[in-house]
Amino acid sequence: MARGYDDVEVKGRLISLLSGSKTGLSGVEISAHLGINRVTMTKFLNVFAAEGIIKQKNIGNLNLWLVEEGTEHLKFPDDYFRVQEKYSEFLIHGSESAIYNLIRNCISSNADVTKLMTEVIIPTITLINLLFDDGKIGKSEQQFMNGIISKSIQTINLGNFNQESKKNVIVLSSDTQSILYSEAASAAFRSDGWNVFSLGDMSSAIDVLFDLDLKKMLTKVWQSKQEIMIIVVFSSSEEGLKFFSESFDSIKGKTEKNLFLILSGKVGKKVKIKSDLLTEKLEDIIQWSQTKFENLQV
C-alpha cells in the first residue's frame, strides 16, 4: 500500500493500539504512537476503514478512530480455531455486526476462504443444528442465526476473485436443511477460481421433469463441452441424493465426458447411489474438483 511499510504489520499494530483505547485516538496520536508520518498514516486509516477494520467517530472538531467490534489482529493458519470460537460466540449472542466485521477482518488478513468454510462456517452450522436438536434454541432463533450465517457467507462472496472460464460448477441443495452447506461450497469454489452457478434449495423442482429442466440449463451455461462442468448436490436425505443421481444419469450422454456429479450427504453402507464422488467433506469436494480439472488439461 505505502512504500516502505508492511501492510499486515501496520494493521496488526494499529488494531493492538486501538483495542487498548476505549475512547479512540486521533490520527495525530496514532501517527505518533506507530512512528508513521501523518500523510502515510491517513492513507492506511482510510483503507482499513474501507475494509471494515476500523471506524471514525466525530466529536466536535475532533476525529477519533476506534476499532470495529469483532476486529482482532489475526494470523493464519494459526487463528482459524480462535475465529471459530469468536464467530460462534457472536452468533449465539446475536452480535450480527460483530460477525460481519470478523469475517471482513479474516478476508483482509488473507485467510483462505475454503479454510474459513471448513474451519469456521461449517462447524458453526453444525453447532446451531445441535443446539436446536437438543432443545436449547427454538426454530425462530435457529432461523435467525442461519440468516446471519448466510449473510456472512455472502460478505465473503463480495470479494474480488478471478474466475477461469474453463472451470464451471453448479451447486444446489435438495432441501432447506442443506442450503447453508451449498452456500459455503459456492463461496469456496468461487474463491478457487470457479464460475459458480448457485441454485440454492431445489426441493420444489423435484419432479419427473427435472432432468429436462437441468438439461436446458446446462445447454445455456455450458456451451463449450470441452470445458469442465461439475454438479454438486447437498442433501440431508438419501432420497434426495438418489433423485439427483438418477436425474444426472439420464442427461449425461457419451459426448459429455467432462460433466461430473458430486453428492454430499450421509448414505448407509448398503445403499448404492451412483456419482463421481460421494463425500460429506467440503475440502474433499474442492480438492477432487481441482484435481479433475488439472487432469483434463494434460
pLDDT, position 224: 81
pLDDT of residue 97: 87
Cα 158 to Cα 6, 113, 254, distances in angstroms: 25, 12, 38
CATH T-level topology, domain 167-297: Rossmann fold (3.40.50)
Domains 80-157 and 167-297 belong to one CATH topology: no
pLDDT in the model for residue 240: 93
* Residue 70 pLDDT: 67
How do the domains of the chain map onto residue ranges?
7-67, 80-157, 167-297
Residues 175 and 240 sit within 8 Å (Cβ to Cβ): yes
Q: Which of 63, 10, 66, 73 is nearest to 36 (CA)?
A: 10
Strand partners, 58: 63
pLDDT at 152: 95
Q: Can you read off the three cell numbers belonging to residue 226?
A: 470441452
pLDDT at 254: 63
**Listed residue (229, 244, 236) closest to 189, CA to CA:** 229
- For domain 80-157, give the CATH superfamily: Methionine synthase domain (1.10.1240.10)
User: Residue-wise pLDDT tens for the chain (298 aa)?
Assistant: 555 677 878 888 888 898 888 788 989 999 999 999 999 999 999 988 887 788 888 887 888 998 877 677 788 999 999 999 999 999 999 999 889 988 988 888 889 999 999 999 999 999 999 999 999 999 999 999 999 999 999 998 888 888 898 999 999 999 999 999 999 999 999 999 999 999 999 998 888 788 888 889 998 999 888 899 999 999 999 999 999 999 998 888 766 789 999 999 988 877 789 999 999 999 999 999 999 999 988 7
Report domain 7-67's class: mainly alpha
For residue 2, the model assigns a pLDDT of 52
Region of 123 please: left (phi>0), alpha (psi -120 to 50) or beta: alpha
* Edge-to-edge strands, sheet with 25-26: 25-26, 62-67, 54-59
Distance CA(221)–CA(274), nearest Å, equals: 24
Which contacts of 263-267 are long-range, i.e. CB under 8 A and separated by 24 or more positions?
A: 263/233, 263/235, 264/178, 264/181, 264/185, 264/232, 264/233, 264/234, 264/235, 265/178, 265/233, 265/234, 265/235, 265/236, 265/237, 265/238, 265/240, 265/241, 266/236, 266/238, 267/238, 267/241
